[in-house]
Amino acid sequence: MSGKIWFVGAGPGDPDLITVKGRRLLEESGAILYAGSLVDQAATRYAPAGCEIRDSKDMTLDEMTGWLLDQAIRHATVVRLQTGDPGLYGALIEMTRPLTAAGIDWAVVPGVSSAMASVAAAGETLTLPEVTQTVILTRVAGRTPMPEGEDLEALACHHCTLCIYLSITLLHEVTRALRAAGWAEDAPILVVQKASWPGEEKIIRGTLADIKGKCQAEKVGSQAMIVASPTLGAAHWKDLARSKLYDPAFTHRFRRAIDHHANQDPENTHE
């Protein structure tokens, strides 16, 4: 009988951000294929003695699939360790289709994406009541084209939170698209390079007008998340709309609203 292949999200870089389930599978694995160009090699520190560990950065897709198929014949648990979450900007379906065709069992363990790690590192939030309740995860067209209707300028017209992956080398195109969509020159922009990577994380705050220059000054040219959002900097705003969930006047299934006037005796009420 063949073993099972697990596609595990390693998270954004800090090996401690892998899920408990992901770590357990690494500890049980007989073979690990990890994305060495993106995943910190320290993430393989959970592998048991004797585990076969292979870096995939010099492999083609067919070579990776072949390696996984071969290891599944020899081991009960095989892990493909990917950066972030396996279902976001990865080759998950391209890799699993041949496994399914070969009758190999596989499953996915989700991971923390760099978008979440970046806003966490900066102490920001993706959504705010009455500011934006929508988050778009996208990228700028490069060697991989964007489908019709998904260019950044069109998406930016919503003026919600944009988490822009794989685009730091095209930051000039990002800023052009935001301007074309009507974003102001002083609109806040956040760039985080290697979010959560111990000793390597860089957090750069700027505006549409100056973020490119700031990134150039910091020599940020790879592995960076770009966040454009009307929520950025909210920790320093004078006023915020409060969440209804925690409002004492809001009723939900776990708590009744508090009516501060309900128990007052009209005879004892003082002006």
Whether 243 maps to a domain, the answer reads no
266 Cβ contact list (under 8 Å, min separation 6): none
Whether 136 maps to a domain, the answer reads yes
Same domain, 174 and 132: yes
* pLDDT digit string, tens, across residues 183-210: 999 999 999 999 999 899 999 999 999 9
Q: State yes or no: pLDDT of 229 exceeds 70.
A: yes
* pLDDT digit string, tens, across residues 99-136: 999 999 999 999 999 999 999 999 999 999 999 999 99
Which residue type is seen at 20? V
Whether 87 maps to a domain, the answer reads yes
Buried b (16+ CB within 10 A) or exposed e, 158-191: ebbbbbbbbbbebbebbbebbbebebeeebbbbb
Write out the residue range of the structural domain in which residue 207 sits. Answer: 114-234
Contact 100, 67 (CB under 8 A): no
Same domain, 70 and 28: yes
Same domain, 102 and 119: no
CATH number for 196: 3.30.950.10
- Give me the percent of the chain exceeding a pLDDT of 90: 80
| Angle at CA of residue 195, ends 197 and 55, nearest 5° | 55
| pLDDT value, residue 269 | 41
Buried b (16+ CB within 10 A) or exposed e, 105-136: ebebbbbbbbbbbbbbbbebbbebeebbeebb
* pLDDT digit string, tens, across residues 47-78: 999 999 999 999 999 999 999 999 999 999 99
Would you place residue 270 in the very low, low, confident or very high pLDDT band (cuts 50, 70, 90)? very low
CA nearest 167: which of 182, 159, 156? 156
Would you place residue 259 in the very low, low, confident or very high pLDDT band (cuts 50, 70, 90)? low
* pLDDT digit string, tens, across residues 1-44: 689 999 999 999 999 999 999 999 999 999 999 988 778 777 78
Same domain, 83 and 141: no
Give the residue with greater pLDDT, 77 vs 259: 77
CATH number for 98: 3.40.1010.10
Whether 261 maps to a domain, the answer reads no
Same domain, 164 and 78: no
Same domain, 130 and 224: yes
Same domain, 87 and 181: no
Same domain, 43 and 148: no
CA dihedral 218, 222, 224, 230 (to 10 degrees): 70
Same domain, 118 and 100: no
Radius of gyration of the chain (CA): 23
Whether 257 maps to a domain, the answer reads no
Among the candidates 81, 109, 137, a domain finishes at: 109
Whether 135 maps to a domain, the answer reads yes
Angstrom distances, CA of residue 165 to CA of 114, 191, 234: 9, 10, 23
Specify the number of domains making up the chain.
2
Which pair of structure tokens corresponds to residue 176? 């052009």
| pLDDT value, residue 251 | 65
* pLDDT digit string, tens, across residues 133-180: 999 999 999 888 899 999 999 999 999 999 999 999 999 999 999 999
DSSP reduced 3-state for 263: coil
Same domain, 17 and 122: no
Would you place residue 252 in the very low, low, confident or very high pLDDT band (cuts 50, 70, 90)? low
Q: State yes or no: pLDDT of 89 exceeds 90.
A: yes
